[in-house]
Amino acid sequence: MKYDVIAYLIRNKAFGWACIGVSFLLALLSLFGVSLYHCPFKSVTTLPCPGCGLTSSVQSLSQGQFTESLQSHWFTGVYILLFIIVFLCLLLPYHLRSPIEKKLSYWENRTRWSLWFLIVLIIYNLTRWLIPL
């Protein structure tokens, strides 16, 4: 089983740019008070999904409100870091991007960090269901 999430986004350049573009567009529009996305999970269950609160957390962070950002979503910093890594790697020419992607793929498959991150994210989300902020 493959666990290379970041390497996949870098390897598949069109898909990586699409993810970066959609994320950037949603974050930019939210800064102007325009919301294009409503969580289908939350609409059906009234419970937050693991990603609920990321947009408002980024918005709070961009305004320097660190406490509010953490209250909206604890893992915003991780998502921003991953966004920056993918963005910078996609800007590189193939001969520089390819070795980075191969090293990331090896590291991601060896550590299975994406699986561990998903488990931690689910536990975090369950605590939000049981102990709302």
Q: State residue 1's pLDDT score.
A: 55
The rounded distance, in Å, linking the Cα atoms of 55 and 14 is 23
Q: State residue 56's pLDDT score.
A: 80
Instruction: Enumerate the domain spans of the chain.
Output: 5-130
57-to-69, 94, 119, 121 alpha-carbon distances in Å: 4, 33, 21, 15
Exposed / middle / buried, residue 21 (Cβ in 10 Å: 0-12, 13-18, 19+): exposed
Global pTM reads 0.79
Instruction: Please choose, from the candidates 87, 83, 107, 106, the residue with its C-alpha nearest in 3D space to the C-alpha of residue 97.
Output: 87
From first to last of its 133 residues, what are the pLDDT tens digits of the chain? 578 889 999 999 999 999 999 888 887 887 787 777 777 888 888 888 888 888 888 888 888 888 888 888 888 888 889 999 999 999 999 999 999 999 999 999 899 988 898 888 889 888 888 876 5
